[in-house]
Amino acid sequence: MNPVLDIEIMRKRHLRRVMPIEEVVYPRPWSIGVFTAELDLVKYGERYYIVGTIDDCLVGYAGILFTPDDAHVTNIAVDPDWQRRGIATELLLELCWKARERSCQGMSLEVRASNTAARALYARFGFAPAGVRRKYYEGVEDAIIMWCHDLGSPDHVHRLRAIEDERRLAVKGTAQ
């Protein structure tokens, strides 16, 4: 039987299981105080954070902040033991649908220049390089700024549905 990923709104009670992932995947992890402050902004509609669980195991999380017209991905993280299984794809799908629901026209993010897997994932969703933040990470590594400008278009809906269809086929294929 293939494990099922459940996605739900991140709550403060999730933070004790979020923090170990945060601390292992990021050289400069957010503190629990930063997460708490971010979650406080959810109630004002300024942020949206989710967690992904399989059975009772929290395997990943993601978030976005909203501006009047756009959304910005603040983080997407997957427990290293669960990477390369489509979890980041599912989390990003949820963020994109939420941004569309909020009538956002575009989404942006920063990604490490060296993180080719993440850059490929974002490109699949229609994000394209739009600039560089020199030495953004730890004062050493550049960040690639990526934008998806057509979030509100019918073409982007088609792209998201195609990704969902691919995921369903992949899950169905591994279950056989």
Whichever domain contains 146, its CATH number is: 3.40.630.30
- Residue-wise pLDDT for 51-92, tens only, equals 999 999 999 999 999 999 999 999 999 999 999 999 999 999
Beta bridge partners of 132: 144
Structural domains of the chain, count: 1
**What letter would DSSP give residue 55?**
T
Q: What is the mean pLDDT of residues 11-33?
A: 96
Neighbour tally for 26: CB within 10 Å = 13
E strand or H helix at 136: strand 128-137
Domain encompassing residue 122: 5-175
Q: Is 154 exposed, middle or buried (CB count within 10 Å of its CB: 0-12, 13-18, 19+)?
A: exposed
119-136: average pLDDT: 96
Q: Give Cα 13 to chain centroid, integer Å.
A: 20
Binning pLDDT at 50, 70 and 90, where does residue 176 land?
A: very low
- Please state the pTM of the whole predicted model: 0.93
- Give yes or no: 110 in active site: yes
- Write phi, then psi, for 123 (nearest 5 degrees): -60, -40
Question: According to the model, what pLDDT value does residue 174 have?
Answer: 57
Q: In DSSP terms, which residues pair with 48 in a beta bridge?
A: 64
Written as six digits, the tokens of 77 are 């993280």
Tokens of 21: 């992932």
The proportion of the chain whose per-residue pLDDT surpasses 90, expressed as a percent, equals 88
Handedness of CA 110, 52, 117, 29 (dihedral sign): positive
Mean pLDDT for all residues in the chain:
94
Active site residue 122: yes
Token readout for 13 is 């009670």
Give, for 129, the enclosing helix (H) or strand (E).
strand 128-137
| List 26, 110, 136, 164, catalytic entry | 110
**Which segment of 89-93, 110-114, 138-142, 143-147 scores lowest on mean pLDDT?**
138-142
More confident call, 169 vs 110? 110
Q: Is 19 exposed, middle or buried (0-12, 13-18, 19+ CB in 10 A)?
A: middle
For the chain, helix, strand, coil in percent to 5 are 40, 30, 25
Identify whether the C-beta of residue 21 lies closer than 8 Å to the C-beta of residue 78: yes
Over 70: is that where the pLDDT of 2 sits?
no
Q: Which of 90, 122, 137, 166 is catalytic?
A: 122
Q: Which residue has the higher pLDDT, 173 or 68?
A: 68
When comparing pLDDT for 58 and 168, which is higher?
A: 58
> Residue 172: is its pLDDT beyond 90?
no
Spatial distance between the Cα atoms of 65 and 110, rounded to a whole number of angstroms = 13
